[in-house]
Amino acid sequence: MSQTTANNPGWNFSRAFWTANGVELLERAAWYGVFVAITLYLSRILGYTDVQAATVSGIFSAGLYLLPTFSGAYADRIGFRNALLLAFGLLTVGYAGMWVLPTLIESNGLAQYGREVTFTGLEQSSYKWLFVPVMLVIMVGGSFIKSVITGTVAKETTEANRARGYSIFYAMVNVGAFSGKTIVKPLRVSMGNEGLIVLNLFAAGMTALAFVLVLMFFKSRRSEGQGKTVAEIWRALVAVCSKARLIILILIITGFWMVQHQLYATMPKYVLRMAGEGSSPSWYANVNPAVVVLTVGLVTQLLRKRSALTSMTIGMFIMPVSAFCMAAGNMFGGQEILGWHPVAVMMIVGIAFQGFAESFISPRFLEYFSLQAPKGEEGLYLGFSHLHSFISSLLGFVTSGFLLEKFCPEPKTLSPEMQQARLDALAGHTPMPEAYAHAHYIWFVFVGIALFSAVSLIIYGRVTARLDRGAAA
């Protein structure tokens, strides 16, 4: 140990800690790069309809919110190193499967999106459903990462450096997410839709590198045989679901996350269809984490003396503003804003508001949720604080699929005349054709959902306060 490190224990981290954070960066780059374009991959490469792509993506996302509590228990049993090797092995196989699957489809006489065979012909292929087992492999592998990496940070830090350790972890998550989303646009520009396939090779490379790093450098403190059993966790889930106050809160916050998930469910397709292939939805998505990083500390400090419920309510009322801004782009009549397409500009504005709302809600929700748990069981209950994301993934993505098909359909499903009319509109020559004239109605639906959730949270706060006063009397 160097003298500098010895005199500054706040930076005295183990090799396991740095390895865990390094592979976290690689895994987040792989995941966010793939997930920000997942509905495009399913529709443009495998031929899923908007509803099919949204449903499968929603199940994919939902599983990754529900499984970590259970896979984390298994990780405690087999040890963190073995769990990470299993996780990155599965992720590498899964992402490689997403890279190989289109070639399998093409080798069976079928063409990919935009080639010799029509979109309808590809859609009829049963081969596209091979994505489901591939998705399950990624889902199981990914479910280990969050619990194991955060668990490693907890085990490999001390009271003197724990706060700095988690700040480093949070930075790695955001650097990885930013990097993964950033690479999508260059691949699409240089390779067209083929870039959506190569993106999975990039992801497989990242997780394979992570596997090697864990194999060579990760040696954590022994933890095999520790932790809760799956049966104990299941009993805790049943207990959480039996508490009406918690379930109602989860359902209310689900409205916020349904809108939040549109960053991946609706936004990429909406922007490309309404603003053209030259737009950059994957880069626009990076506005959200950037705003969160810049504002969450300030927001938390300003509202530190206010209740968690007050902070959450403010954030909930920002979300309808976010969704309305996203809708507003299609109401400018195609007139550019500072040289940019209005749909792109207002989408960026809406995403910024979305990130700002998250700064009010996410940190304080965990605080409020923990206060509802019985004494001594806060940690176990917090393991199910993500149930709102499980529900909102399913509802948000499926809703997105139906709304896209109705108000902003896939161009290849329209008549040649309608397709040409859309291209003329994107070139600035004519208004958008009837099929896209009301595309912004998609966001009006989410304005309504967000507003309903915000009002519901006010009612929830008043009712629970009255009940608490009655119980104390």
Q: Write the CATH number for 421.
A: 1.20.1250.20
Shared domain check, 193 and 259: no
17 located within any domain? yes
Same-domain pairing of 278 and 164? no
User: Do 201 and 292 fall within a single domain?
Assistant: no
Q: Would you state the pLDDT for residue 121?
A: 44
Is a pLDDT exceeding 60 seen at residue 124?
Answer: no
Of 217, 232, 257, the position where a domain reaches its end is 217
Residues 442 and 329 in one domain: yes
% of residues, the chain, pLDDT over 90: 40
Number of folded domains that form the chain: 2
H, E, C per residue of the chain: CCHHHHHCHHHCCCHHHHHHHHHHHHHHHHHHHHHCCHHHHHHHHCCCCHHHHHHHHHHHHHHHHHCHHHHHHHHHHHCHHHHHHHHHHHHHHHHHHHHHHHHHHHHCCCCCCCCCCCHHHHHCCHHHHHHHHHHHHHHHHHHHHHHHHHHHHHHCCCCCCHHHHHHHHHHHHHHHHHHHHHCHHHHHHHHCCHHHHHHHHHHHHHHHHHHHHHHHHCCCCCCCCCCCCHHHHHHHHHHHHCCHHHHHHHHHHHHHHHHHCHHHHCHHHHHHHHHCCCCCHHHHCCHHHHHHHHHHHHHHHHCCCCCHHHHHHHHHHHHHHHHHHHHHHHHCCCCCECCECHHHHHHHHHHHHHHHHHHHHHHHHHHHHHHCCCCCCHHHHHCCCCHHHHHHHHHHHHHHHHHHHHHCCCHHHCCHHHHHHHHHHHCCCCCCCHHHHCCCHHHHHHHHHHHHHHHHHHHHHHHHHHHHHHHHC
> Residue 111: inside a domain, yes or no?
yes
Of 170 and 294, the one with more pLDDT = 294
Range in 92-96, 177-181, 325-329 the model is least confident about: 177-181
pLDDT at 334 over 70: no
The pLDDT score that the predictor gives to residue 120 is 44
- Indicate if 311 and 458 belong to the same structural domain: yes
Instruction: Flag whether 156 is in a domain.
Output: yes
Each residue of 385-433: pLDDT tens digit? 778 889 999 999 999 999 999 999 999 889 998 989 888 888 877 888 8
Let me know if residue 396 belongs to a domain.
Answer: yes
Residue 457 has pLDDT above 60, yes or no: yes
Give per-residue pLDDT as tens, 154-201: 788 887 777 678 778 877 888 888 888 888 888 888 888 888 889 999
The answer to whether residues 343 and 469 belong to one domain is: yes
Residue 3 banded pLDDT, cuts 50, 70, 90:
very low
**Residue 258 counted as domain residue:** yes
pLDDT in tens, 80-91: 889 999 999 999
pLDDT, tens digit, 9 for 90 and up, residues 12-49:
788 888 999 999 999 999 999 999 999 999 998 888 99
Say if 107 falls within a structural domain.
Answer: yes
**In the structure, what pLDDT confidence band is assigned to residue 72 with cuts at 50, 70 and 90?**
confident
* 115 lies in some domain: yes
Residue 468 has pLDDT above 60, yes or no: yes
Whole domain around residue 200: which residue ranges? 13-217
Least confident of 51-65, 201-215, 321-335: 321-335
Q: Are residues 367 and 431 in the same domain?
A: yes
Same domain assignment for residues 129 and 254: no
- Asked if 410 and 294 sit in the same domain, the reply is yes
Highest mean pLDDT among 155-159, 254-258, 364-368: 254-258
Task: Give the pLDDT of residue 223.
Answer: 54
Residue 233 covered by a domain:
no
Q: What is the pLDDT of residue 269?
A: 95
189 & 318 share domain:
no
Question: Is the pLDDT reported for residue 295 higher than 70?
Answer: yes
Tell me what pLDDT residue 209 has.
96
Better pLDDT: 7 or 320: 320
Q: Give the pLDDT band (50/70/90) at residue 70.
A: confident
Residues 163 and 254 in one domain: no
- Judgement on whether residues 156 and 193 belong to the same structural domain of the protein: yes
Q: Residue 8: what pLDDT?
A: 53
Whether the pLDDT of residue 381 is over 90: the answer is: no
pTM of the model: 0.85
What's the pLDDT tens digit per position in 110-123? 444 444 334 444 44
pLDDT at 258 over 60: yes
Instruction: Report the chain's mean pLDDT, rounded to a whole number.
Output: 84
pLDDT value at position 148?
Answer: 85
| pLDDT at residue 64, as a whole number | 87
Q: What are the pLDDT digits (tens) for 266-282?
A: 999 999 999 988 899 98
pLDDT tens profile 216-246: 998 866 555 556 666 777 777 787 777 888 8
